[in-house]
Amino acid sequence: MERKMRVRDINGHGTHTSSIAAGNSAKGASYFGYASGTANGMAPRAHIAMYKVVWRYGTYTSDVLAAIDQAIQDGVDILSLSLGLSVDNNVLDDDPIAVATFAAMEMGIFIAASAGNDGPLYWSLVNGAPWMLTVAAGSVDREFDGILTLGNGVQITFESLYPGNFSRNQMPLVVMDECASVEELSQVRNNIIICKDHLSISDQVENAESAMVSAAVFISNYSYLSELYTKSSFPAAFIGLDEGQTVIDYIKQNSDPRGRFQFRKTSIGTKAAPKVDAYSSRGPFLSCPNVLKPDILAPGSLVLASWSPVSEVTKVGSHPLFSKFNLLSGTSMAAPHAAGVAALVKRAHPDWSPAAIRSAIMTTANPFDNNLSPIKDVSNYNQPASPLDIGAGHINPIKALDPGLVYDATPQDYMKLLCAMNYTAKKIRMFTKLSHDCMNRSLDLNYPAFIAFFNDDGLSTSADKFEQEFQRTVTNVGKGGMAYTAKVTGMDGIKVMVEPPKLVFKRKYEKQSYKLRLEGPKLFKKDVIFGALSWRDDAGKYMVTSPIMATTITSQ
């Protein structure tokens, strides 16, 4: 514990996430020259209530619950949770955040929570209770680069946030293979050392740092991990195998191979973006797998935001550096982006429920990158990301304000889900004081996403065939006299039927229901098959899209 229970942020994490959600405009923002410009939060005119729950030596469940209780009493509209608590038994009633946020949801409070930073494996997601928006983290169309120029003029660009001053003079290049010996590295510390990826990158970086090398180049098959080390305390380049081979070939062909570094380069409009990052935790959610999670992808990688001036942001050598701004990565940064968007939607539609706001954010998300191709997963060799990685897609603040249709849900609907998950009346009372007899129970929550487990024997109609039916109700929040037509994309090898295929709304706030049916082989070669259902209005103004997922993955 701190000697004094200070409410001020001495770490920086809370300042960073709060300013993402609702920070005021700040001119002259930058990270030592990187990402220079004007910084704005997502909802800069919103009021911020900050509750300190993370201390120097840890996070305590009691503090988190007390903060949520206080936020409810204070009458907040939005809760942004950039944290997660470990749960032993993978059941919702053992998840303190799930229990506490149910009470917040009952009071009309919208909850956005980080999905976790334990990706890219399936089932790694946290904060997946169906009454909250679970936010995954993606990249943005901006890169921070350094340049390695070889003696023959060939230039190699790499990710870097090195803030120090570094000589632009050429230095000798020395290959040290695995960089496994600190003693050997110390003997050549005044060169640019080259490390090959036969040892873990983290060990190589640690060894180079301990040897106090002048500069280093790390060649790795896992170059997407370079983001984790962009803030190295010494000049360093993290490059892939192809670029690495270029460096090695140059060294072999020259008796006096040399190179030089340049830093502080910011590139805007880079492609392809966004991509889902490797660290972002993946669904399904162990405690409630029948609801597809995560819900949405938001910017989470190298986000510039405010920082506590008493907390160091990085080091150059052994010297700490301080700044009013910092660049951080994580789903902690993604969640407040979504929370800020939710605040904007709440401002535009103050009578909407948390479920309606979540629906607006999800059904207007963009599944494509700035190349107009499906969003990619960097941990899977840039293959298209699935809904277990990105949910409905990348958040779109403007479209979320006017979604056309919404999928609404009440506290009673969530209680029906808990009943269907075999929660007893005693356990349900942990979530709510409302009485519920579990006469009506359903795993089919009115959610703007669909997931079916094709290895579930209870849902199979034969030894080799699988069928599952979902029912959904949508509310027209556009004007009256609207007609929507269903269109299904993707779902290779799975038959998808929508009944009725057209929904007609005569007035605003009218509700219409439909059924979606999946049919396919009980077993299929792919772990996941995914697609989407879109409801498009006849005038072409709205396209209300929900991800569909069929999978054979298990938690075993």
Q: What is the pLDDT of residues 38-69, one digit of tens each?
A: 999 999 999 999 999 988 777 889 999 999 99
Which of the pair, 85 or 152, is modelled with greater confidence? 152
Confirm if 247 and 156 have CB atoms less than 8 A apart.
Answer: yes
What is the Cα–Cα distance from 121 to 131, expressed in whole angstroms?
23
Confidence band, pLDDT 50/70/90 cuts, at residue 105: very high
- Other CB atoms closer than 10 Å to residue 460's CB: what's the count? 16
Q: Residue range 524-546: average pLDDT?
A: 93
Task: Characterize the bridge pairing of strands 236-239 and 215-219.
Answer: parallel
Averaged confidence pLDDT in the chain:
92
CA distances from 391 to 65, 156, 305, 321 (A): 27, 35, 25, 37
Percent of the chain past pLDDT 90, that is, above it, reads: 78
User: What's the pLDDT band for 426 if we cut at 50, 70, 90?
Assistant: confident
* Mean pLDDT, residues 244-268: 94
Higher pLDDT, 86 or 202: 202
| pLDDT value at residue 199 | 65
Contact assessment for residue 125 and residue 110, using Cβ atoms and an 8 Å cutoff: no
Distance (Å) of CA 262 to CA 40, 247, 319, 523: 29, 16, 21, 53
Q: What percent of the chain has pLDDT over 70?
A: 95
Joined tokens for residue 402: 């006017």
Q: What is the CATH number of domain 142-268?
A: 3.50.30.30
**Which band of pLDDT confidence, cut at 50, 70 and 90, is reported for residue 438?**
confident
Whether the link from the prior residue into 403 is cis, omega within 30° of 0, is no
Q: Which amino acid is at 159?
A: E
**Tokens, residue 388:** 């277990």
Cross-strand pairs, 504: 483
Instruction: Specify the fold of 404-409+445-556.
Output: Immunoglobulin-like (2.60.40)
Per-residue pLDDT tens digits for 321-340: 999 999 999 999 999 999 99
Taking the domains of the chain in order of start, what are their residue ranges? 1-138+275-401, 142-268, 404-409+445-556
Q: Summarize the confidence of residues 120-138 as an average pLDDT.
A: 97
Confidence of residue 289 (pLDDT cuts 50, 70, 90): very high
Q: What is the mean pLDDT of residues 432-453?
A: 90
Token pair recorded at residue 225: 């991990």
Q: What is the mean pLDDT of residues 258-270?
A: 92
pLDDT at 66: 96
Measured CA distances, 80 to 74, 147, 336 (Å):
15, 38, 6
pLDDT in the model for residue 518: 96
Per residue in 197-245, pLDDT (tens digit) is 766 788 899 999 999 999 999 998 775 566 667 788 899 999 989 999 9
Average pLDDT over residues 488-511: 96
Query: In CATH, what number does 1-138+275-401 get?
Result: 3.40.50.200
Q: Are 281 and 118 in contact (CB under 8 A)?
A: yes
Answer whether 133's CB lies under 8 Å from 391's CB: no
Pairing outcome for strands 528-537 and 482-490: antiparallel
Residue showing tokens 């910084």: 39
pTM summary value: 0.92
Tokens 């356990």 label which residue?
Answer: 427
pLDDT-based confidence at 1, cuts 50/70/90? very low
What is the SS3 string spanning 274-296? CEECCCCCCCCCCCCCCCCCCCE
- How far is Cα 188 from Cα 205, in angstroms, rounded to an integer? 15
Give the count of beta carbons closer than 10 Å to the beta carbon of residue 538: 13
pLDDT at 182: 95
Work out the average pLDDT over 155-166.
88
* pLDDT value of residue 522: 75
> Average pLDDT of 445-458?
85
First to last CA, the chain: 39
Where residue 135 falls among pLDDT bands split at 50, 70, 90? very high
